[in-house]
Amino acid sequence: MTTMWGGYGQLVHSFGLFGDHVVSLKIIDHEGTIKGIARTNHEDLFFGIIGTSPGNFAVITHFTTKAHRDQDHAGSRRLKALYFYNPTTLERLLDTLVKMSANNEFPRNYDYYIVVLSSSNKLLD
């Protein structure tokens, strides 16, 4: 899940922070006024909201983001993996990533997204 505050998501390495792609916001300010704000109007408020914790300046009711077209990123690739923690598996995974990174033949437009969960996580119970 990607959030406004911090903006770290699965594609952060390829496209940057989520907030970099927000075009406009619809908010309710501290006086209860509904406002439409963007980078081009209410610039200080816009960047204040994008760069802070939720609710510091307003309640966000809607947001609009830029769309990305596949054809603008030809050849981009991604690896997404989810593992429960196991020392042997983690070591093998990291060794593989090091080998891939050291290989000059390996494509440089590759985005890695790996999540290692605690082995005590009760996610599947």
Better-scored residue on pLDDT, 11 or 89: 89
Reported as a single tens digit per residue, the pLDDT across 67-93 is 877 777 777 777 777 778 888 888 888
Residue of 28, 41, 111 lying closest to 75 (CA atoms): 111
If phi > 0 it is left, if psi is from -120 to 50 it is alpha, else beta; for residue 6 that is left
Asked if 42 contacts 35 with a C-beta cutoff of 8 angstroms, the reply is yes
Tokens representing 25 are 């916001």
What fold, for 12-67? 3.30.465
Distance CA 5, CA 34 (A): 20
Reported as a single tens digit per residue, the pLDDT across 46-70 is 888 887 766 788 899 999 988 877 7
pLDDT at 121 over 70: no
What are the residue ranges spanned by the domains of the chain? 12-67, 76-117
Better-scored residue on pLDDT, 5 or 101: 101
Three-class SS of residue 89? helix
Distance CA 50, CA 19 (A): 6
The dihedral through the CA atoms of 74, 76, 77, 78 has a sign that is: negative
